[in-house]
Chain A
Amino acid sequence: MTLSASFSRDECIGLLVDFLEVSLHQILWACKLYPSEIFRQTQKFNTLVYKSIHPEVNNYIDNTLNTVRNLLSNDFVEKLVLVIKNDKPVERFVFSFHSYYKTTPSGKVTLNVTEIRQQATAIWLTMSQRLGSETHYDRENCTFAFEIHTRNVAYDKMLERQSTEDFQWIVADNIMNPNSVMPIRKLDSNPFCIDVYTEDYRGDDS
């Protein structure tokens, strides 16, 4: 039996941000940037996922997601990227938002919740499987950062206004072209269409 429900725009964005949050934690866990002790097992959509319990990491993620949420509601954001760097970027996890809401007369969208859950779960599984199976590069010295690709130059102004907050974004350097891309999966269920893929900067060693 499929489950479907009506969601308002805010609820849609909420759902999306939830999905992003879990995804980011999953990536951090699977990349083993941090000792596994800071992660706890938890459940989302009936799937086992890992969530960091480190307050600063969480704070960083939460702040990022808050900004993303803001931007999403203004339709400003195009991509959210988690970059793993070792001076230079090593790998980037890209969430490309093609659509996440559809205007309807009633102001609500009917979501196929089951489908969304299944797809989200599939994305997480693919992520952890991919990262888990890979030959581990030296992640010891790696750090991670978030990038937000905004859709609108007007956001610059918003950024200035936002400077009152203690979480600030800086303009990114030019982004190098990666060596290869790898699709993870697509969250593709009305109204969501979110492309998830990784960009690999490592040499073609395979």
Chain B
Amino acid sequence: MGKLKGDEKFVKPEWIVDSVKANSLLDLKPYLLYTGLTLDKGQQKLGIVSMAKKEDVTYCENRNERAMVTDSPAKNSASDIRQSREMKRAGEDDFLSEFYKRSRLHHISTMGALFKRHVTELREKNNGVFPGMENIENWKKTSGYQGSHKNEDTVFMHIDMDCFFVSVGLRNYPSLVGKPVVVTHAKADSKPLPRREGRNREYEFECYKEHWIKKSKFSESNNADETEAGLTDVFPRLQDLDETCSMSEIASCSYEARAAGIYNGMFMGAALKLCPSLVAIPYDFEGYKEVSTLLYNTVASYTLDLEAVSCDELYADITTVLRQTGLTPSDFATHLKEVIFSKTRCNASVGMGPNMLMARLATKKAKPNGLFYIQKGEMVEFMKSHKIEDLPGVGRSMAHRFHALGVNTCLEMQQVTIGKLQQEFGQKQGQTLYYMCRGEDKRSLKTEHIRKSISADINYGVRFANDQEMYKFVQELSSEVSKRMEEIHVRGRLLTLKLKIRAKDAPVETAKFMGHGVCDSISRSTTLVTASRETKIIEKEVQILLKQLKVDCCELRGMGIQFSKLVADNVSKGKQPKQNSLLSFVARSKIFPSENLVTTVPPEDIVKTVPSENFITPCIATPNAEEPDNEKVESDGKQGDGKRANDNARFELPSFSQIDPTVLDQLPNDLKADIIQEYQRQGIALSGVNSLTKNYSEPVAGPSKAEAGNGSSLADSQIDPLVFDQLPDDLKNDIIQEYQRKGITLSVAKSSTENFPKPIAGTSKTETALGSSVAKESVNSSGTSLSEKPVSYDGIEEITDIDASYWSALPDDIRIEIERDIQQRKSETTSPMKGWKSIFKPQRSPVKAAGKILNGKTKAETKRKTKFQEIPKAKVQPTIPIPVAIAQEKVVIDAKRLEAPKEELTLSGASTLPEIRQLLLEWFSTCDSPESEDCEAVSKFLASLVNNKELHKIEPIILFLRRRSVGQSDSWKRAVDDIINTTQLYVIQYYNAPLKLPSSFL
């Protein structure tokens, strides 16, 4: 063999025969025995075969192809023997099925899942009749129990079969009852195996140790001593191993065997040394299934408040049963145990307690074949005696960490503060541990079993000679995963490939025959477009991942395919439920009749009537909040009632902290005086943006209107009820209608300028700290006479609402800033897709309120808002207006992300252009005149596109809108213009210029 060169190939003898038959050289591949690579890596199994046949090997020159052929009969007999005795190697035919036929873990795990499903099915089928109850009655009669016990507390029961595998196995070997018995793959009488080449047990264990130390050092900064000490914790079995003993693990051992010091998971070789009379019995998977089914059905005949843990372990809430039968927990447990034994001929141990943890710990006490009930009062005492390892979820590694802390018992653990535990073990686990060591357990039965992931892993027998074998294995594994998903009717979206690759310093051949040895684990995930369980798709994805990882197939020691993000079959494939369509939204908005909208409430009531959960209270709502509407009414030719005399007093001021003193100073004197006056009037409450409660009771802020009925729409809250009340009835109606039509596009204007000298005395303490800021003011306007640029933004109430004289008095850059700010505010109202709720709905208002700084603020929003605005502005000098806007925007975006963690922006569920077009088309065709809410929603969507820098998507939408609006009514045209203008303003804010559109629209 040593003489063999890398390019020489072993083929089966049939290759020659078949080649001769076909009269040509056939493809070698199907006939390949193994490649040179296998030999180099010491491929164990095939190596033996060829080793044994060394003398039979002949060289055979056949044209240019050199082949090595083994003697046929000899080879066949050798492989027959091997197959009967040994595990197949991954990549060979039927490896997977063979593997799963034998794999203990596989059976245990799949059975757990199987019974979880079984319980669910039982529950679905149940018609309210529990046949077990009858049994209890009979049993009560025969055994003379009274059944007068009054049970008040909840009682959980934990049922665990005693050494399940052994008990079930012993049903076939009655003679072995009472003897030390274990269940394992290996034969108890198996002789020491011949030493295999290429392996070195001690060395491998050293490797394990080193890797473990490395890992533990990485995770926690233990010093070397502790790590050494920990080693004995983690590797307690090393001492009882030598070179030859069997490394087959013991799955289950009888109590007799346990008495001899044997424990589950021990290696068979070591166990035989401890107890030479040990008898090993094989697995009996059919038996396990049968007994488990019996067990579950039995318990289910009493109650269906079950939680399956595994094939031999389950929780039950027996409170109802006890109440109905009047039995004490212990009586019921006795009865149940009798029934289980009579049906399964296996013993079960039953623990009961006031919660699941107690029940479980009680079972430990009850074993073997007993029952134990912990009453509520005994709980604390009971816990004290326990070691921390007894707690579920505390394994070797965690126990080791506890030992390092000097904690060995639950009593000691009870002394540890919750903070310390959380610091050591993380928020959630720390808390769980804290309660657990006190015997408290808040869990309830998980009756709805939801699988989070599904996987198939094989880390045994994986030795690939070439890529073909590897891919073949991938195919088998894929179909296995696929099968498992099909069994529980799910599809998965996230595929994770887990690989175990031989660690660089690990020996090529492992101590455990065909085991994986010391490995580096790596995993890669990929998300499928739609949830799937098609074998082909899985296979393909795994192949891609394998290629990406550039795995050397010979170094591979284990592979697993896991699916998570599971979607049940009855849910539509992988797609999220669609959002409400525009139509349904439109329909919904019509539900709100006008009488709900405006109901005048005395000013004082605002404070009280505003539902607290909404935090909707106009903090600085001032009398003139109503102004814009009043204006509209006036411009419509309906004479208002002369309120305009108050114009100057009706500023709608931002909280004072938002005013940049320098800005204020540059304002015309009369304006300045007005602002100051207004602030003084509103008093100190304005200075405290944070002291919002004050704002609530602030008398000036008071007079505004909110409806107790529908939770105060913001728009309405901006109306001064005093003003409103004095309006003639028809005017009132007009206003109401206007509100309905316009939504809440009320007057807001904000002028922000740079250079502002000093804070105004007596008004605010906060503004000095906040430094430069932007002054905002709302100025009354005639609504029509703007001769400057803003006129072009006719559709935007906010700007047109600014008094022309004020507007012209402002410097250019201020005006730009105003525009931008208006836009900004609009954009904020844009936020998440909540947009689809009616603006008149209370929960909508906070968003709105945030947008309209001046008109009113919600409690929470005010704080946030001021932060948003002040902080970035304080940093950036006012000479650069653009970064200011952007800085704000970024915060806004963040806020948005918080609320709507959506990846793709959607307009009512539509994200692609055709979808959006379709949606808009429906919109156009279904409404005679556009609903303002819809317009807003569209604007918002476009704004969010700008936000996301998806300019190229906006252009077609705008063009489409404009095209559609051509033949439509004026209201439509105006709406579309509004949308376009709004969007353009938004674009300007980002890019400093409007989007270029093919033809002019200004």
In the complex, whether B992 has a CB less than 8 A from a CB of chain A is: yes
Query: 19 interchain pairs (CB within 8 A)?
Result: A6-B548, A181-B987, A181-B991, A181-B992, A181-B994, A181-B996, A182-B995, A183-B951, A183-B954, A184-B952, A185-B952, A186-B952, A195-B951, A197-B951, A199-B993, A200-B996, A204-B1000, A206-B996, A206-B1000
Given contacts A5-B548, A206-B998, A206-B1000, contact A183 B952 (CB under 8 A): yes
Give the complex CA separation of A206 and B997 in angstroms: 9
Give the complex CA separation of A183 and B959 in angstroms: 14
- Residues of chain A within 8 A (CB-CB) of B987 are 181
Give the complex CA separation of A110 and B820 in angstroms: 39
Give the complex CA separation of A88 and B998 in angstroms: 24
Per-position 1/0 for B929-970, Cβ under 8 A of A: 000000000000000000001111011000000000000000
**Which B residue sits closest to A179, measured CB to CB?**
B993
Question: When the two chains form their complex, are residues B548 and A180 in contact, meaning their CB atoms are under 8 A apart?
Answer: no
- Residues of chain A within 8 A (CB-CB) of B955 are 183
Given contacts A206-B999, A206-B1000, contact A4 B548 (CB under 8 A): yes
**Which A residue sits closest to B992, measured CB to CB?**
A177
- Residues of chain A within 8 A (CB-CB) of B380 are none
Give the complex CA separation of A180 and B951 in angstroms: 12
Question: When the two chains form their complex, are residues A110 and B548 in contact, meaning their CB atoms are under 8 A apart?
Answer: yes
- Residues of chain B within 8 A (CB-CB) of A182 are 951, 995-996
Interchain nearest-CB distance for B962 vs A (Å):
15
In the complex, whether B259 has a CB less than 8 A from a CB of chain A is: no
Interface of B toward A, CB cutoff 8 Å: 544, 548, 949-952, 954-955, 987, 991-996, 998-1000
Give the complex CA separation of A179 and B987 in angstroms: 12
Give the complex CA separation of A204 and B994 in angstroms: 11
Interchain nearest-CB distance for A99 vs B (Å):
11
Question: When the two chains form their complex, are residues B951 and A181 in contact, meaning their CB atoms are under 8 A apart?
Answer: yes
Residue in B949, B992, B993, B999 whose CB lies within 8 Å of A96: B949
Residue in B950, B954, B996 whose CB lies within 8 Å of A180: B996
Give the complex CA separation of A185 and B953 in angstroms: 9
Per-position 1/0 for A1-45, Cβ under 8 A of B: 000111000000000000000000000000000000000000000
Q: Which of B548, B954, B996, B1000 counts the most A-chain CB atoms under 10 A from its CB?
A: B996
In the complex, whether A178 has a CB less than 8 A from a CB of chain B is: yes
Per-position 1/0 for A166-187, Cβ under 8 A of B: 0000000000011111111110
- Residues of chain A within 8 A (CB-CB) of B992 are 177-178, 181, 199
Q: Which of A98, A183, A195, A204 counts the most B-chain CB atoms under 10 A from its CB?
A: A183
Given contacts A180-B996, A181-B987, A181-B993, contact A4 B949 (CB under 8 A): no
Give the complex CA separation of A24 and B880 in angstroms: 29
Interchain nearest-CB distance for A130 vs B (Å):
11
- Residues of chain B within 8 A (CB-CB) of A96 are 949
**Which A residue sits closest to B881, measured CB to CB?**
A177
**Which B residue sits closest to A201, measured CB to CB?**
B993
Give the complex CA separation of A6 and B526 in angstroms: 13
**Which A residue sits closest to B544, measured CB to CB?**
A4
Interchain nearest-CB distance for A153 vs B (Å):
11
Give the complex CA separation of A185 and B949 in angstroms: 10
Give the complex CA separation of A184 and B995 in angstroms: 11
**Which A residue sits closest to B996, measured CB to CB?**
A180
Interchain nearest-CB distance for A206 vs B (Å):
7
Main secondary structure of the interface of A (DSSP, over half): strand
Question: When the two chains form their complex, are residues A180 and B995 in contact, meaning their CB atoms are under 8 A apart?
Answer: yes
- Residues of chain A within 8 A (CB-CB) of B544 are 4
Give the complex CA separation of A195 and B949 in angstroms: 7
Q: Which of A4, A179, A180, A193 counts the most B-chain CB atoms under 10 A from its CB?
A: A180
Give the complex CA separation of A96 and B999 in angstroms: 27
9 more contacts with CB within 8 A, not counting A181-B951, A199-B993, are A181-B987, A181-B992, A181-B993, A181-B995, A182-B951, A183-B951, A186-B949, A197-B951, A206-B996
Give the complex CA separation of A183 and B987 in angstroms: 11
Give the complex CA separation of A180 and B991 in angstroms: 8
- Residues of chain B within 8 A (CB-CB) of A200 are 993, 996
- Residues of chain A within 8 A (CB-CB) of B1000 are 204, 206
Residues facing B in A130-150 (CB within 8 A) are none
Interchain nearest-CB distance for A67 vs B (Å):
22
Interchain nearest-CB distance for A202 vs B (Å):
10
- Residues of chain A within 8 A (CB-CB) of B951 are 181-183, 186, 195, 197
Question: When the two chains form their complex, are residues A199 and B952 in contact, meaning their CB atoms are under 8 A apart?
Answer: no
Question: When the two chains form their complex, are residues B949 and A180 in contact, meaning their CB atoms are under 8 A apart?
Answer: no
Give the complex CA separation of A199 and B993 in angstroms: 8
**Which B residue sits closest to A178, measured CB to CB?**
B993
Question: When the two chains form their complex, are residues B949 and A98 in contact, meaning their CB atoms are under 8 A apart?
Answer: yes
**Which B residue sits closest to A180, measured CB to CB?**
B996
Interchain nearest-CB distance for A6 vs B (Å):
6
Q: Which of A177, A178, A181, A184 counts the most B-chain CB atoms under 10 A from its CB?
A: A181
Interchain nearest-CB distance for A50 vs B (Å):
23
Give the complex CA separation of A183 and B954 in angstroms: 9
**Which A residue sits closest to B548, measured CB to CB?**
A6
**Which B residue sits closest to A195, measured CB to CB?**
B949
**Which B residue sits closest to A204, measured CB to CB?**
B1000
- Residues of chain A within 8 A (CB-CB) of B998 are 206
Given contacts A98-B949, A195-B949, A206-B1000, contact A183 B548 (CB under 8 A): no
Question: When the two chains form their complex, are residues B994 and A180 in contact, meaning their CB atoms are under 8 A apart?
Answer: yes
Closest A-B pairs by Cβ, 6 of them: A183-B951, A180-B996, A183-B952, A178-B993, A177-B992, A181-B991
- Residues of chain A within 8 A (CB-CB) of B995 are 180-183
Interchain nearest-CB distance for B832 vs A (Å):
21
Give the complex CA separation of A200 and B544 in angstroms: 45
Interchain nearest-CB distance for B836 vs A (Å):
26
Interchain nearest-CB distance for B946 vs A (Å):
10
Interchain nearest-CB distance for A174 vs B (Å):
9
**Which B residue sits closest to A110, measured CB to CB?**
B548
Q: Which of A96, A179, A182 counts the most B-chain CB atoms under 10 A from its CB?
A: A182
Give the complex CA separation of A180 and B984 in angstroms: 10
Give the complex CA separation of A185 and B548 in angstroms: 30
Interchain nearest-CB distance for A12 vs B (Å):
16
- Residues of chain A within 8 A (CB-CB) of B994 are 180-181
Q: Which of A98, A195, A199 counts the most B-chain CB atoms under 10 A from its CB?
A: A195
Give the complex CA separation of A193 and B950 in angstroms: 11
Give the complex CA separation of A98 and B993 in angstroms: 20
- Residues of chain A within 8 A (CB-CB) of B996 are 180-182, 200, 206
Residue in A4, A5, A180, A186 whose CB lies within 8 Å of B993: A180
Give the complex CA separation of A153 and B993 in angstroms: 25
Interchain nearest-CB distance for B774 vs A (Å):
19
Give the complex CA separation of A185 and B994 in angstroms: 16
Interchain nearest-CB distance for B722 vs A (Å):
44
**Which A residue sits closest to B991, measured CB to CB?**
A181
Give the complex CA separation of A13 and B133 in angstroms: 72
Interchain nearest-CB distance for A97 vs B (Å):
11
Interchain nearest-CB distance for A34 vs B (Å):
26
**Which B residue sits closest to A122, measured CB to CB?**
B952
Interchain nearest-CB distance for B903 vs A (Å):
11
Interchain nearest-CB distance for B833 vs A (Å):
21
Give the complex CA separation of A66 and B992 in angstroms: 29
Give the complex CA separation of A197 and B999 in angstroms: 19
- Residues of chain A within 8 A (CB-CB) of B999 are 206
Give the complex CA separation of A192 and B687 in angstroms: 45
Residues facing B in A74-118 (CB within 8 A) are 96, 98, 110
Interchain nearest-CB distance for A176 vs B (Å):
9
**Which B residue sits closest to A108, measured CB to CB?**
B548
- Residues of chain B within 8 A (CB-CB) of A206 are 996, 998-1000
- Residues of chain A within 8 A (CB-CB) of B993 are 177-181, 199-200
- Residues of chain A within 8 A (CB-CB) of B954 are 183
Interchain nearest-CB distance for B956 vs A (Å):
10
Give the complex CA separation of A168 and B445 in angstroms: 70
Interchain nearest-CB distance for B713 vs A (Å):
36
Give the complex CA separation of A185 and B951 in angstroms: 8
Interchain nearest-CB distance for B38 vs A (Å):
29
- Residues of chain B within 8 A (CB-CB) of A5 are 548
Interchain nearest-CB distance for B920 vs A (Å):
20
